[in-house]
């Protein structure tokens, strides 16, 4: 049997039940050293061809739904290979050295750099190309999971997964990816695996333990990311109170509202903070709010038909009716008199 055929058969046995289409993947590896640590063959070491570079890939199937690839190698040239998973797959990659690109068959792509932890969803039966860029050293851990299995693996309910993570771990998978910086604990965990002194069954158990540790670190980092995002999006209680007080003051003095500086001084913050709080809570700037409130009051008065346009203009804070008329037209697209006609308060 040819050396690459032997490698392919060994890899297929490791991938059995997870990914059976890995023939293309092993073309650049030499005949591996295979170990049988437990009753089934679930671990393999693939050595890179001398012509391609130096180093190895450890491929281990932790269980029927989780497979890991631990790489520590260097390449003399760019290294490309194609993977086609038979079902939707979630890949968590922790890259401590080197760079890698992933190119989806449907057009999606991602570029992962040294010092990044990434998560990628890959649709089943959709080939994607992995491109390892030429570098002195490529070192990474990749954890492949069947889609929609992460929550159960971690002992969590699906609703307990961090929101960002749940957007990737689903059965309706499309090629998408996101990255975040590796934490020091993640970097140390991958380095420990690369330097593991164990062999046989002990190595397998060590890989299982470290893989679960790194999954916990990854999920925890995503939870913290969710919390930081929520904190950023949700204004503080003090900010909400300031925005509400500012609105009440403006509504009470809409005909002659205070300046932003006066309003900020009254509320007890600087102008920049007040503008930020007001926009975050009400969705409009202070000047936009004042203009909108003036026009709403003007509409109410014009609909009543009990006052003239000049009186309405003065009531909502305009010294000259012409300025009011121009502002009203910009806001509503019709003049004040036309608005009264449309509401039956003036003869056509």
The CATH architecture that domain 237-342 belongs to is Orthogonal Bundle (1.10)
Cα 79 from Cα 202, distance rounded (Å): 31
Alpha helices in 16-118 (DSSP H): none
Cα 161 from Cα 169, distance rounded (Å): 9
CB-CB contact of 156 with 215 (8 Å): no
pTM for the model stands at 0.59
Q: What angle do CA 38, 41, 43 make, to 5 degrees?
A: 90
Task: List the structure tokens of 69.
Answer: 């690839």
Cα 342 from Cα 336, distance rounded (Å): 10
Which among 47, 41, 81 has a CA at the least distance from the CA of 61?
41
DSSP secondary structure of 171-185: SS--SEEEEEEPPHH
SS3 5: helix
Spans of all domains in the chain? 3-233, 237-342
The CATH superfamily label for domain 3-233 reads Jelly Rolls (2.60.120.10)
For the chain, 348 residues long, give each residue's pLDDT as a single digit of tens: 344 454 445 444 444 444 443 333 444 444 344 343 333 457 778 787 767 778 888 888 777 778 889 999 888 888 777 777 777 888 899 999 988 888 776 666 788 888 999 888 877 777 778 888 776 788 999 998 887 788 888 888 877 888 777 777 765 667 778 888 999 999 999 999 999 998 878 888 899 999 999 999 998 888 887 776 655 545 677 888 889 899 999 999 988 999 999 999 999 899 999 998 898 888 889 999 999 888 989 988 988 888 889 999 999 999 888 999 999 988 888 898 888 888 776 544
């Amino acid at each position: 049997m040819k050396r690459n055929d032997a490698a392919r058969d060994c890899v297929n046995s490791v991938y059995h039940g997870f990914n059976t289409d890995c023939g293309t993947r092993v073309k650049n590896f030499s005949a591996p050293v295979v170990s049988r640590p437990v009753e089934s063959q679930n671990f393999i070491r693939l050595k890179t061809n001398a012509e391609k570079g130096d180093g190895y890939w450890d491929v281990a199937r932790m269980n029927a739904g989780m497979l890991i690839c631990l790489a520590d190698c260097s390449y003399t040239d760019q290294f490309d290979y194609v993977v086609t998973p038979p079902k939707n797959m979630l890949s968590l990659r922790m890259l401590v050295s080197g760079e890698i690109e992933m190119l989806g068959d449907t057009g999606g792509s991602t570029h992962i750099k040294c010092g990044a932890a990434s998560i990628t969803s890959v649709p089943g039966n959709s080939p994607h190309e992995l491109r390892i860029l030429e570098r002195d050293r490529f070192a990474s851990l990749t954890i492949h999971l069947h889609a929609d299995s992460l929550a159960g693996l971690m002992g969590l309910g699906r609703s307990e997964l961090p929101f960002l993570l749940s957007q990737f771990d689903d059965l309706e998978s499309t090629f998408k990816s996101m990255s975040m910086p590796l934490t020091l604990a993640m970097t140390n965990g991958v380095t420990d695996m690369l330097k593991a002194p164990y062999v046989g069954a002990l190595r397998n158990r060590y890989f299982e333990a470290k893989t679960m540790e790194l999954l916990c670190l990854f999920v925890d980092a995503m939870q913290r990311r969710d919390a930081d995002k929520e904190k950023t999006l949700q204004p503080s209680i003090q900010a909400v109170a300031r925005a509400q007080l500012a609105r009440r003051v403006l509504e009470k003095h809409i005909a002659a509202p205070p300046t932003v500086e006066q309003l900020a001084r009254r509320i007890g913050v600087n102008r920049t903070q007040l503008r930020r709080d007001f926009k975050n809570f009400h969705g409009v700037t202070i000047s936009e709010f004042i203009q909108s409130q003036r026009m709403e009051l003007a509409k109410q008065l014009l609909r009543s038909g009990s006052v003239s346009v000049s009186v309405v203009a003065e009531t909502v804070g305009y010294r000259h009716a012409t300025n009011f008329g121009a502002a009203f037209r910009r806001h509503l697209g019709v003049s004040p008199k036309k608005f009264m006609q449309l509401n039956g308060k003036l003869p056509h």
